[in-house]
Structure 1
Amino acid sequence: MTGILGASASSSSAGSSSAPVHGKFVHVVFFWLKNPDDQAERKQFENNLNNFISGIDYIRSSHVGTAAGTNRTVVDNSYTYCLIVSFDNKDDHDAYQEHALHQKFVTDSEALWERVQVYDSIVV
């Protein structure tokens, strides 16, 4: 699946070419892991995240990433992971929220994070 920023859902590699956002509803989620330096927990979280994203047909595009480390006063680099997914509409987003794979991701991963922040937007 091509990501919003050109990375596949299973990769967060830099240097990929840019790809357009598909869908009119964008769901952005920031995660702060409890133990961000624990590589085993990071791998588990990434696997949980990528497994659920790849199985939900409502998702039109996705991006999984980490803080870029840019140094500007308006940039928050404190999060561990960012997930951006887009949908055709709010109804598809709502169905995604109830999807069994999304629910499994939350159940399997919630012990790993200390904070989650969500921003939803629609194209204007």
Structure 2
Amino acid sequence: MNTTNRRKFIATAATVAAGTLVASAMPDIIKPTTMINKYPIVHHALFWLKNPSSKEDRDKLVAGVKSLGKIESIKELHVGVVASTEKRDVVDNSWGVSEVMFFADLAGQAAYQTHPIHQQFIKDHSHLWEKVVVYDAVDA
């Protein structure tokens, strides 16, 4: 193999190796296997705080929602607050705290509803919210 071909081969091999490394380091959300494919039951709850201007109340509710992650049937949990995104007619930013949970099946979601940790969460934190809206969905 001459020097020019050897250099081209090494450069090509290095490029392929770098591309493979980058692809393997990509976040799961970008990869073809997403949360919805792994866990087809999605439970999304939006909470409106009684005192929406109270960061302390919001933080207490966030901590409470995060504690629900200890429930075995919850496969993934995301807790969020309103993002400072562009204001558009289709964006509802009137809520204060959001939870998105993923379950493997309907039995897991049902077990979550009656789980003692969930029941204790309601008892300890319901005084913080004025309204809760829940959206449950299954992979289509």
CA shift, 1:45, in A, is 1.2
TM-score (norm 1): 0.80
Structure showing greater radius of gyration is: 2
Aligned to 1:12: none
Q: 54, 58, 64: which is aligned to 1:38? A: 54
Question: RMSD in angstroms over aligned alpha carbons?
Answer: 1.3
CA shift, 1:91, in A, is 0.8
User: Is the contact made by 2:58 and 2:96 (CA closer than 8 Å) also made in structure 1?
Assistant: no
- The runs of at least 4 aligned residues of structure 1 exceeding 6 Å deviation read none
Does 2:63 correspond to 1:63? Answer: no
Deviation sequence 1:17-68 (CA, Å, 0-9, x none)? 5633141100000000011221222222122111222x11111111111122
Secondary structure of the equivalent of 1:74? coil
In the aligned structure 2, how far is the partner of 1:109 from the partner of 1:87?
Answer: 23
Aligned to 2:22: none
User: Is the contact made by 2:41 and 2:109 (CA closer than 8 Å) also made in structure 1?
Assistant: yes
Q: State the aligned residue count.
A: 107
Change (3 A) 1:87 1:35: same
Does 2:68 correspond to 1:52? Answer: yes
Q: Mind listing any 5+ residue stretches in structure 2 that lack a counterpart? A: 1-26
Q: Mind listing any 5+ residue stretches in structure 1 that lack a counterpart? A: 1-16
Q: Percent identity?
A: 36
CA shift, 1:69, in A, is 3.1
Does 2:90 correspond to 1:74? Answer: yes
Q: 6, 13, 25: which is aligned to 2:41? A: 25
TM-score (norm 2): 0.71
Does 2:128 correspond to 1:101? Answer: no
